[in-house]
Amino acid sequence: MFNELTTFLIYIISGMAICIFYDVFRVLRKTIKTSNIVTYIEDVVFWIVVCTFLIWLIFKVSFGELRSYIFIGLILGGIIYLLTFSKYFIIINVKILTILKNILLKIFTPILKFIRKPIIFFYIKTKKIYSKLSSKKNNINTKKPKEKRIFKLKFITNKFNKNNS
């Protein structure tokens, strides 16, 4: 279907596409701060998508045959992209996402503040009701013999201390 030169060019473009996909993750990491666990999950998702794409591409273009020029094309495409476009892609997209994030924060912050007040009010009221109910429950369940035992022990120790002095 394809000759070797066309296949080689397809793999160079695919190497560039994989690097663009990776730069999307890099842009998201720079724009939105996440925990280490989320970063690990992103890395796993990246590699699952890339491996699936490469397997599909190898079967579609090369009929499942692994040739050395496939890997050379992928690596060469990645290197070309990283040396030429990657820096500008990241700078431009970080600025775009930062502006978009700031706009969304300006829109949704007042809405969240408005919604937050009733939620906090409801939380405080339910906490008070729960604490009243739990205190009543604890008053019912307290056992008097435990207090008497403690009192008797204190009484005995006080009596013992008076006799020794």
pLDDT mean over 35-60: 93
Q: From the DSSP assignment, how many helices (H) and strands (E) are in the chain? A: 5, 0
Query: What is the pLDDT confidence band of residue 132, given thresholds at 50, 70 and 90?
Result: confident
Six-digit token string for 32: 């939105």
Q: Is the dihedral of CA 151, 155, 156, 161 positive or negative?
A: positive
Six-digit token string for 28: 């998201």
Are 1 and 66 within 8 A, CB to CB? no
- What was the pLDDT predicted at 143? 53
Range with top average pLDDT, 10-14, 58-62, 138-142: 10-14
Instruction: With 0.75 as the threshold, say if the pTM is over it.
Output: no
What is the residue whose two structure tokens read 């890339």?
50
pLDDT at 92 over 60: yes
